[in-house]
Structure 1
Amino acid sequence: MRNIAITQEILLLISELDEFKGTWKALNTLAPDRLAALRKIATIESIGSSTRIEGARLSDREVKDLIANLGQQSLISRDEQEVAGYAEVMDLVFSSWESIPFTENYIKQIHTILLKYSSKDERHRGEYKKFPNNVQAFDVDGKSLGVVFETASPFDTPQQMSEIVTWTAEQFVSREIHLLLAIGVFVVAFLAIHPFQDGNGRLSRILTVLLLLKAGYAYVPYSSLESIIEENKDRYYLALRKTQGTLNQDEPDWEPWLLFFLRALQRQKVRLQTKLESERIMASTLPTLSVRILELAKEHGRVTTQGIEKATGESRSTIKARLKQLTEDRLLVRYGKGRSTWYGLS
């Protein structure tokens, strides 16, 4: 795992990410409520994207509505159960990442929470696999097209997991290689092992976020890495397979996966920079209430006069004036008439 060829592109990507990491505190000048809104939006995107990568069908809007009503409704479908588990784990990671040790036991605990709401997975939550789970391809009707990748056997899984988790934890102490490379190596090795019977893809992305936070990339919760992966799903799997196919060689080819991983992190960073710049422009040129209305529109997908009044406490006449100006400035689009009127982002 130590023989990683550092190409010029890999070096430049790491430097760019580290520069943003170092300046995040200086860039982070938005009000706490604005940052909280950015994080909420990114979290919903992450939950939706990561579960859809594995076959779920809930849209971000449906994910948002489901999370808002957790505890008040039964989770009937598997998609709903997966979203609920993912949301609970993300909340845990964001709130407690500093106190979560990177050990096999804690990885198993996170897996248990991830599959907490799925009765189908009750028997194997938090336990390494007892049956082979090679990665297969399926046609549109769900019929298997054959094995795409052979994962570690149930017998070999405990030893291989012990090795990769111990090695990764040691890198956070020794800094023998750059931590972004260490995280990338862990992810591709973890997915090659596929240690649990189910939930490995979702768990790998949660552990990626956990490790990035532990490595000091504090901006990660404010921009969804999972949505970047979903948008580049074919490249994601191709990069994984190219590197995983060489892991048993004396000198594995880490470059395909590490380049994809670092480029995805770069896109995540650029997307956050764009959001921050947009927020600053709005904050400096628009009245406070107008900025709040746009934020509500981003968060909920649509806004109404009544909803804005409830959220802000402002008078209806002031709200209507701001909505009129935002519509004229083409920042909002008006839909419907009379009491059915609502507004969405243009």
Structure 2
Amino acid sequence: MKKTPFIPDRLPLQSDQLNQLFFLKELIEANKKIAQYQVLLQNTKLPSHLLLNPVMLNEAVQSTKIEGTQVTLDEVLEVETKSRKNNKDVQEVVNYYQALREGMDKLALLPISTRLFKAMHLTLMSNEVRGSNRSPGEYRKIQNFIGPEGCTLETATFVPPQPQMVDNHMNNLEIYINDPQDELDELVRIAVIHAQFETIHPFLDGNGRIGRILIPLYLFNKKVIDFPNFFLSEALERDKHKYYRFLNDTRYKGDWNQWVQFFLQAMIHQADKNIRLIHDVNQLYEHDLELSQSLINSSGVKKLVDAMYQKPIFTVHTISAIADIPEGTCRRYLTALESSRIVFSDGKPRSKTYYYYNLLDKLR
């Protein structure tokens, strides 16, 4: 039987659609954990901006993995440093990373809005990746449907709203994001907003990725976090079948409580992981910086170690530019670090690629 396009609830939700007692424990815990993570970032020994590049790239890897790409963080970093050839899976990750950076930058000028969504989507679908021929940067004008590969409209698990209704539904979502008119906690709101975006499915492709970028942008915009660096894709990828099922249950069963509880649990899991990462990286930074300074009697060694946190896979050329150290000096420093097993190289006589595995092991 042919399924009919879904008509989403209007936002804000009615008061009887959410029972906050159902997920109150998770809401309190999620807020506590995110606040703890923010305090740790503010007081970290390692300048927190140094970790942003690899952490954002890892988010890009995890988010595109949900969509079926098969690529690792190491592979993306190798392409970035030009020691590996690019391919379409890596390009999808790079596009996601660039769309995320673009969203962060444009928030200074734009509200979270259709203009922002379309700009990020255009970037996400650039460079001839899968879906690049499916109206990049524009809301869909045809009916789409969601389900297993090869499914039809009849066998789809979900049929989003009619294309002529997309602008209307997205306008309602945009108004809710910027002027919600309810008493919900911001963490509950972003759970509702993410689900609503995925339900409207405004683009022909890339909706999941744009919807996941929206999470840290919203939390940053509402000052829940100090920088848009709280990413949920890894936690959602871990339970992706639950993720899809509970999203569908908001649509066909009206079960928002189950969805919000799941979303908050994912936040708690990710915050716990982030907190452990900051603790571990702090210890690593302190240890490896002290060891490096004992090997190399120069103030420049700190600049080199700091640069390695931004690019844990690198060549002399790339790392010397970031650290602002001459290449010859950089090469001497790296020889000393490699002899003490702080970094490892691929052993090539020319254009070596170096790996800072101590950090990569904690990021993966």
TM range, smaller chain: 0.7 to 0.9
- Alignment deviations for residues 73-120 of structure 1 (CA, whole Å, 9 cap, x no partner): 8x763x344333212111112334343312223222222222232375
CA contact (8 A) 1:303 1:342 kept: no
Per the alignment, residue 117 of structure 1 pairs with 127
CA, structure 1 residues 52+282, in 2 after alignment: closer, same or farther (shift >3 Å)? closer
Partner of 1:329: none
Alignment length (residue pairs)? 322
Structure 1 residue aligned with 2:337: 319
Which residue does 2:161 correspond to in 1?
152
Alignment match, 1:274: 276
Is the Cα–Cα contact under 8 Å of residues 67 and 87 in structure 1 kept in the other structure?
no
**1 or 2 for the larger relative contact order (CA 8 Å, sep ≥6)?**
2
TM-superposed CA distance for 1:254, in Å, is 0.4
Partners of 2:118 and 2:346 in 1: how far apart? 50
Q: Find the counterpart in structure 2 of residue 197 from structure 1.
A: 204
What one-letter code is carried by the residue in structure 1 that aligns with 2:93?
V
Cα deviation for residue 14 of structure 1 reads: 2.4
CA shift in 2, pair 1:134/1:89, >3 Å: same
Is the contact between residue 53 and residue 230 of structure 1 (CA under 8 Å) also seen in structure 2?
yes
Contact (CA 8 Å) 2:147, 2:158: kept in 1 or not? yes
In structure 1, the partner of 2:7 is: none
Distance 1:253 1:301, change over 3 A: same
User: Which of residues 44, 58, 78 in structure 2 aligns to 1:30?
Assistant: 44
Partner residue of 1:134? Answer: 145
CA distance, structure 2, for counterparts of residue 317 and residue 189 of structure 1: 53
Structure 1, unpaired ranges of 5+:
247-251, 327-331
**Distance in 1 between residues matched to 2:137 and 2:155, nearest whole Å:** 27
Q: 1:297 to 1:102 in 2, by over 3 A?
A: closer
Give the aligned residue type for 2:117: I
2:157 aligns to what SS in structure 1? strand
Asked if structure 1 preserves the Cα contact closer than 8 Å seen for 2:313 and 2:355, the reply is no
| Residue-by-residue CA offset, 1:287-344 (whole Å, 9 max, x unaligned) | 534598699489536999xx89969677578536743xx7xxxxx9x89999899874
Task: Check conservation: 1:21, 1:216, Cα contact below 8 A.
Answer: no
The C-alpha deviation readout for 1:51-80, integer Å capped at 9, x for no partner, is 1211222222222233445xx98x763x34
- 2:14 paired with 1:14: no
Partner of 1:121: helix, strand, or coil? coil
CA distance in 2, matches of 1:102, 1:156: 20
Supply the AA of the counterpart residue of 1:105.
Answer: R
Give the counterpart letter for 1:215 in structure 2. Answer: K
Q: Is the 8 A contact 2:191 2:260 kept in 1?
A: yes
Alignment CA distance shift 1:284-1:342 (3 Å): closer
**Structure 2 contact 57–73 (Cα < 8 Å) conserved:** yes
Q: Which amino acid aligns with 1:87?
A: Y
Confirm or deny: 8 A CA contact 2:103 2:116 kept in the other structure.
Answer: no
Matched, 1:97 2:104: no
Match of 2:70 in 1: 57
> Is residue 217 from structure 1 mapped to residue 224 from structure 2 by the alignment?
yes
Structure 1 letter corresponding to 2:186:
L
1:47–1:63 Cα contact (<8 Å) kept = no
**1:208 Cα offset (Å):** 1.7
Matched residues in 1 for 2:279 and 2:106: separation?
29
Alpha-carbon offset, residue 200 of structure 1: 0.8
Amino acid of the structure 2 residue aligned with 1:163: N
User: Secondary structure of the equivalent of 2:163?
Assistant: coil
CA deviations 1:111-167 (Å, max 9, x no partner) are 2222232375346122221211110212xxx57693111111112222222222212
| Structure 2: gaps of 5 or more residues | 1-12, 294-303
**SS, match of residue 242 in structure 2:** helix
> Given that residues 113 and 174 in structure 2 are in contact (C-alpha distance below 8 angstroms), is that contact kept between their aligned partners in structure 1?
yes
The CA distance in 2 between the partners of 1:287 and 1:81, in whole Å, is 33
Q: 1:286 to 1:117 in 2, by over 3 A?
A: closer
Whole-Å Cα distance in 1 between the matches of residues 348 and 102 of structure 2? Answer: 43
Of the three residues 81, 90, 94, the one matched with 1:84 is: 94
The Cα shift of 1:6 comes to 3.7
Counterpart for residue 183 of structure 1: 190
Inter-CA distance 157–344: structure 2 relative to 1 (3 Å threshold) = closer
For 1:316 and 1:67, locate their aligned partners in 2 and report how far apart those are by CA, in whole Å: 19
Amino acid in the other structure paired with 1:264:
A
Describe the SS at the equivalent of 1:155. helix
CA contact (8 A) 1:184 1:261 kept: yes
Alpha-carbon distance, 1:260 to partner: 1.7
Give yes or no for contact 1:88–1:113 (8 Å, CA) kept in 2: yes
Alpha-carbon distance in structure 1 between the residues aligned to 2:236 and 2:93: 17
For 1:302 and 1:121, how far apart are their aligned partners in 2? Answer: 30
Separation of aligned partners in 2, 1:203 and 1:26: 28
Say which SS state the counterpart of residue 179 (structure 2) adopts.
helix
Q: Could you tell me which of 211, 215, 224 is aligned with 1:208?
A: 215
